[in-house]
Every structure is written in C-alpha cells, then in structure tokens.
Amino acid sequence: MTPLRQKMINEMKLRGFSVNTQKSYIGAVAGLAGFYNTTPDRLHAEKVQAYLLDMIEERKLAWSTCNLAISAFRFLYGETLGNDSIGLAIPPRKTQKHLPEILSAKELERLFASQGNIKHRALLMTTYGGGLRVSEVVQLKIEDIHSERMMIRVEQGKGKKDRYTILSERLLKELRNYWKMYRPPLWLFPGQDPNKSICRGTAQKIYYNAKNRAKIKRGKGIHTLRHCFATHMLENGEDLRTIQMLMGHSSIVTTMTYLQVTRKKLASSRSPLDLLEIPKSKKSH
C-alpha cells in the first residue's frame, strides 16, 4: 500500500467514514491513477477534469458514479493533500430517481417456493420479513433473533444506528427449521468459512437465482424485498411513522416514497375522467 493511499484511508477513518465509503473513494482514486499511470498527487486540475469528462462523455457512466468520483477527488486533494487550489468546480446534477418495482404477494410466494435450499430461503424470507438491507441481513447473528419479544435486532445499520424490526411467526418457524439443520454457531447466515458471515454478493446471487427460477421479470436486486416490505405494510394499514422506525429511515420523507407505489392508495383514487358525463358518440357514416 502506498503512503498516499494509507494517508487517505487514515483521514477517512478519522472522519468516521463507513468501510463501504472508504472502499468506494479508494477505488475512484485508483481509477484516476490507472488512467494516467501515475500517482494522483502529480496531476493538475485540468487532468482530473479531463478524466471526469471521459467518464461522462466517452464511458457514459451513471451520474451517481461520476458524483462519487468527484467527492473522492475533492476529499483527496482538499483533505488528504491540503490542496484546495485544484478546485473541481463541477456543478452537481440531480440523480435520476426511479420508483421501486414491487412484487405481489403471489410473486413472493413463488420466489420463496422456488428456493429449495432451506438456508437460502430463510435468508430471503428474513430480508423481506424484517424489511432489511442486504448489508444488515448478512450481518445478523443468532443472538439478534429475539423470539420471546418477536423482534429482530439490527446492530449498526446504515448511519451506524441500532434498531429493532419485527419478527413474524412464519419467519420464526422457518428460522427454527433452518437452525436445526445447519446449527450455525455465531452468524445467522455464515459463509463458506463458518467464522465469517455470508457476503453481500452471495446474497444477491441467491436472490437472482430464485427470481429466475420463479420466472419473475420485475424488480432488480435483493433490495426489492425491502421495498416490498414497506409497501405491503402500508397496504395492510400500518402507519408511516412505524414503518419509518422499522426500516431505519432517518427522515420520514424517504418512507413517504412508498405512498407512490401503494396499490391500495392508488386503486382508491378516481380519475377526474370518471366524473364527467359524456354522451355516447354517434356512429359516423
């Protein structure tokens, strides 16, 4: 590891950056260094901006990826190297926002039924049943399942916050059957090494494999199950504030996104066209 990379990592650690953010920033800087085949501390602002232009115009990368790179470069030159003069004066763009695609209850039943591996089915059902992020479900420990209180403890979720979410009776039964077969000692879903938890990439593959077997076209990654949890809770009459706490959203505005995809709410709304009394059109000859 180069001294510059270690210095940047140390600066990020001092500021409490998450491990994922650290990896993303280091990856972005490594891409810049590889593009010019030199250390980034030798590059001028024009070179950095030319690299960003290549990302946008030539490689046509998502603006979120470019925004991350800009943040990484600003941190490198401004905070790590103390060179504010490089000044990446690039105006931010709004990231395109897409509403989540929600699976129906029938589709979820097919998804879970398609998974013959009891461990994989338990992982998918836990993700949906608790409204968990993939980073949270893979880090669950046996002790996080509070069967007496019917709660799941999420330790250090997004934003480094602990929270509790619900444990359904159906999920508890599934987890007990899974535990009797596998007897995991520490992690609820261990990887090939029992001393380590299953990785997020593997959890994603489990979801995609089940989705393909169930012949489900809609929905993207395993995060779809979390979206389904929130939407179905709303459709079952749960209030937004409770869902916000269960999901671990910092702002209720984030939770309100699901109002836009709730079938019950949309189906109960009438189009103004239905309120018009329009005479039947006469047949034209």
Catalytic residue numbers read 133, 158, 223, 226, 249, 258
- What whole-number distance in Å separates Cα of residue 279 and Cα of residue 224? 45
- What whole-number distance in Å separates Cα of residue 211 and Cα of residue 206? 9
Q: Which residue has the tokens 């990368």?
A: 61
C-alpha 143, offset from chain centre:
24
- What whole-number distance in Å separates Cα of residue 38 and Cα of residue 139? 38
Which residues, 6 or more positions from 226, have their beta carbon under 8 angstroms from its beta carbon? Answer: 127, 128, 131, 132, 133, 247
User: Could you tell me the two tokens for 44?
Assistant: 């001028």
According to DSSP, the β-strands at 145-146 and 161-166 are unpaired
- What whole-number distance in Å separates Cα of residue 252 and Cα of residue 68? 25
| Closest among 120, 98, 101, 96 to 224, alpha carbons compared | 101
- What whole-number distance in Å separates Cα of residue 189 and Cα of residue 196? 9
